[in-house]
A and B are shown apart, each in its own frame.
Chain A
């Protein structure tokens, strides 16, 4: 009887220990995030061939939004900035000869930002800086 109680106790303890633990796979790969949905809210296409100018527009937009630009790399096409605990990484890549793809990833504290509204605000500010309309990626 005692051993049975001890065994049940052990399983309950183990069960409780595993509750609330994000798995390694989930933490490292963000495997619970819906990749396609995230990609569509974080990405916009602009009709310009000038990737470097777009990167400079991203820098100007971050400065306008009171973000602090921490990194900028023309070869990788990456700009990173932060404000009030929110970190934003923006990448700019060429798409064919006439378009660029801009993707923004935001993080606050220990969580990725999944609110579409946040990305819409960023792209609205970027559109103004670029004098171009952002298209959803197909």
Chain B
């Protein structure tokens, strides 16, 4: 009699462990709650009938922001780019200063544990940043083009990439669109 509850608890625990592993695929394919909000700050419309010109401006914008262009499918209005960056904002000089300070703390004896806190500040923190730009004509006459920009970030821990995260900071997108507007203005003047 006592074995049954034990067995069911074991099965239940096993199921719970499995459930915690990864979301169901159907969940992955369900629109996120903030879908509309995301779409809004990731999209801007431009008064232009020339989608190709906007795509070219987007490619120039990516280069201005230091991205490598990985893919471009102009017929479908797609540009993909990526870059690797160091999330540790300290300069080489600052890192050397931190190294000296760490050494001092180590020599200090009882201050040695504090040195552990500073070790991370000396290491680089590689981060991969991906960008996807998607354009499409929107109104019936085709005089407006919607541009959607999506950034995502992948952190690396011990050389292994973590799960990529879509960047949801609206200010970053606003900044990118401001630059695009300027680039479009420049291109219009250049040609």
Residues of A within 8 A of B3 (CB): none
Q: How far is the CB of A72 from chain B (nearest CB, A)?
A: 5
* Contact assessment for A125 and B25 in the assembled complex, using a CB-CB cutoff below 8 Å: no
B contact patch SS: mixed
* Contact assessment for B73 and A73 in the assembled complex, using a CB-CB cutoff below 8 Å: yes
Q: Is A118 an interface residue (CB 8 A)?
A: yes
Q: Is A41 an interface residue (CB 8 A)?
A: no
- Which residues of A, 29-68, contact B by the 8 Å Cβ criterion? 52, 55-56, 59-60, 63-66, 68
- Interface size class on chain B is 20 to 34
- Interface size class on chain A is 20 to 34
* Contact assessment for B25 and A118 in the assembled complex, using a CB-CB cutoff below 8 Å: yes
Q: Is A8 an interface residue (CB 8 A)?
A: no
* A86-B28, A121-B26, A125-B29 given; A66·B39 CB < 8 A: no
Q: How far is the CB of B65 from chain A (nearest CB, A)?
A: 18
* A56-B136, A59-B134, A85-B22 given; A69·B80 CB < 8 A: yes
Residues of B within 8 A of A64 (CB): 31, 35, 39
Residues of B within 8 A of A25 (CB): none
Our pick among B29, B78, B163 for the contact of A118 (Cβ within 8 Å) is B29
A contact patch SS: mixed
* Contact assessment for B26 and A55 in the assembled complex, using a CB-CB cutoff below 8 Å: no
Q: Is A138 an interface residue (CB 8 A)?
A: no
Query: Which of B71, B80, B132, B152 is most buried by chain A, counting CB atoms within 10 A of its CB?
Result: B132
Residues of B within 8 A of A56 (CB): 76-77, 136
CA–CA, A83 to B130, complex, Å? 13
CA–CA, A120 to B130, complex, Å? 29
Q: How far is the CB of B164 from chain A (nearest CB, A)?
A: 7
* Contact assessment for B78 and A59 in the assembled complex, using a CB-CB cutoff below 8 Å: yes
* Contact assessment for A117 and B26 in the assembled complex, using a CB-CB cutoff below 8 Å: yes
* Contact assessment for A65 and B130 in the assembled complex, using a CB-CB cutoff below 8 Å: no
CA–CA, A86 to B26, complex, Å? 10
CA–CA, A55 to B35, complex, Å? 20
- Which residues of B, 13-61, contact A by the 8 Å Cβ criterion? 22-26, 28-32, 35, 38-39, 42
B residues apposed to A, CB below 8 Å: 22-26, 28-32, 35, 38-39, 42, 71, 73, 75-78, 80, 130, 132, 134, 136, 148, 150, 152, 163-164, 166
10 shortest A-B CB distances, which residue pairs? Answer: A74-B75, A121-B29, A118-B25, A117-B26, A118-B26, A72-B73, A72-B78, A72-B76, A122-B29, A86-B28
A residues apposed to B, CB below 8 Å: 52, 55-56, 59-60, 63-66, 68-74, 79, 83-86, 88, 106, 108, 113, 115, 117-122, 125
